[in-house]
Structure 1
Amino acid sequence: MSEAYVPESRWRMVAAVALVGGGLLLAGVMGFRTLRGDGATAGADVSRVAFLDPEGTRHTVADYKGKVVVVDVWATWCPPCRKSLPEVAELQKAGGDRYVVLPISVDRNGWADVTPFLSKNPQLGLKAYVPDGRGGLEPLGEIRGIPTTFIIDREGRVVKRWSGYGEGMAKRALDEALQGR
């Protein structure tokens, strides 16, 4: 399956942030795609999503079976992503035994982009990941904008997904998933 990307310079221009009522930040990202086809919707099994940690170890969502998983697809150059990262990091730190937060960067140069960004922003305390190759995020389906967040149940199925950032959205959706709603 081939992947089509919008050039980063165009993406930056397209990703001009639009403020929508209630402080919801959305990226205007028509045309950004990591994959072709439909996006993973509620009930879709995404346990095969594969990603690499900073040490190069391969992981999948299936490794976290029994926990609720938050997958946050982001990039270092994306303004709404940068706005959302403190909240993502806070949720990640609080995870414990009940849930795990996996911020997966789709930066074109992978760790060559992510590592310097995290070094310049140590206050985040974020542990980031990158996709395991071109097909690593394939189970998530088409992603038209970033950040895109997936809440995944204990069996590896999508409970909820959305694009953009709204303060507190991830925490509320995570709380609902943890309560089984």
Structure 2
Amino acid sequence: MIKKKFSRGHKRNRIYRPLPQKKEKHRINKKIDAEKVRLVGGGSIENGIYSIQEALQFSRNRELDLVEINPKLNPPVCKILDYKKFLYEQKKRKKQFKAKQVKVNTKEIRFGPQIGDHDGKVKIKSAEKFLMRGDKVKVFVFFKGRSIVYKDQGKIKLLKFAEEIEEYGKVEQMPVMEGKRMYMILAPKKL
């Protein structure tokens, strides 16, 4: 027996497993294992309970698929339709729903309790820009060392900030102290 030498990193006892099969979302045609099914929305076919053979025959006559919509009920609910088209429409609906969802980002603005007027106006301009874009703004006043004794001054700065930006956003959460910083959350005004 000849021993093969392997280069570094090569594993001798590698186990190869087959890739997992993609599981179908719905059972169709002969994969439906119930004896009787409840047909709904079949067009010219009346809604009702039919044997699986009858339902399959109806679907074959129309050259469509018998699709199990709700397998949890007894008997399971099935529909006669074009399965590929059905999947495409579901995917399309899901994509449209996802596109309609609005993602709200939260931007942060920080300053100290003794911020100057000009610096404050720069911070206000950037907050206005964020609010006009539809983002929420979390405004922090951070206290370093002994500046913690100026809590009232920090609260006044935050309230003044909210007053200056009132045209673009409204206060969602009033100033709250958290550790060594005080923060307030502003939400954009809906136009």
Indicate whether the TM-score tops 0.5: no
Larger Rg over CA atoms: 2
TM-score (norm 2): 0.26
TM-score (norm 1): 0.28
- Hey, which of these two has a bigger chunk of helix by percent? 2
